[in-house]
Amino acid sequence: IKLLELPRESLIEDLKKVVIDSIVRYKYFKMLEWQDYTHSFALHAMFMLRELKAEETLETVLDLLRQKEKFLNYWVGDLMTEYMWMIIYEIGKNQLDALRDFILEEGNFTYARVPISEAVCSIGQNFPERRNEVIDWYYIVFNLFIEQKDNDKLLDTTLIGLMVGDVLDLKATELEETIVKLY
């Protein structure tokens, strides 16, 4: 809690550097024996950014999520599907365009994209006044998937299935016709 009392701007900059360090020095840390006290810093930094509601750090967190599967498994592991959506939700809730762009980037790891959809779904659930905005977000994403049906670098059936599950959680019946086309 004392850390959160530090000056916000410099604390956020330092936390961004911690996240970036996990990318830059990945090979160094891979050579060390895994220890919670030496290898949990990136995740802790992102949780602090969430707590600070540091929306200006979204691109830094997305840069971490752009890394390869082995990297993400090393730093985040199973916590990717458990907790990452909470971080994205808090720092990305006012940046749906950036979240859409990320989910539509070719080559991003499936389970780095899943928390994006989970966060967007939660925005629609927790902010009823934004429900239509969230439904439009899914409509655009799904239609781009339909248009790019032959693009194996973009399409991912696991991701699509999980996103449809999020839409069902949102009870977005408005997307039924689009989902039928998607399948």
As a whole number of angstroms, the distance between CA 133 and CA 6 comes to: 35
- The whole-number pLDDT of residue 61 equals 98
For the full predicted model, state whether its pTM sits above 0.85: yes
Give the pLDDT band (50/70/90) at residue 34: confident
H helices within 25-154, ranges in order? 26-31, 36-39, 41-51, 58-65, 69-75, 79-82, 84-92, 96-103, 110-126, 131-147
> What is the mean predicted confidence (pLDDT) over 175-183?
95
- DSSP H or E stretch at residue 181: helix 176-182
**What's the token pair of residue 18?**
């911690």
- The whole-number pLDDT of residue 160 equals 97
Using the structure block, give the residue that is written with the tokens 């410099």: 10
Q: pLDDT (tens digit, 9 = 90+) per residue, 45-101?
A: 999 999 999 999 999 999 999 999 999 999 999 899 899 999 999 999 999 999 999
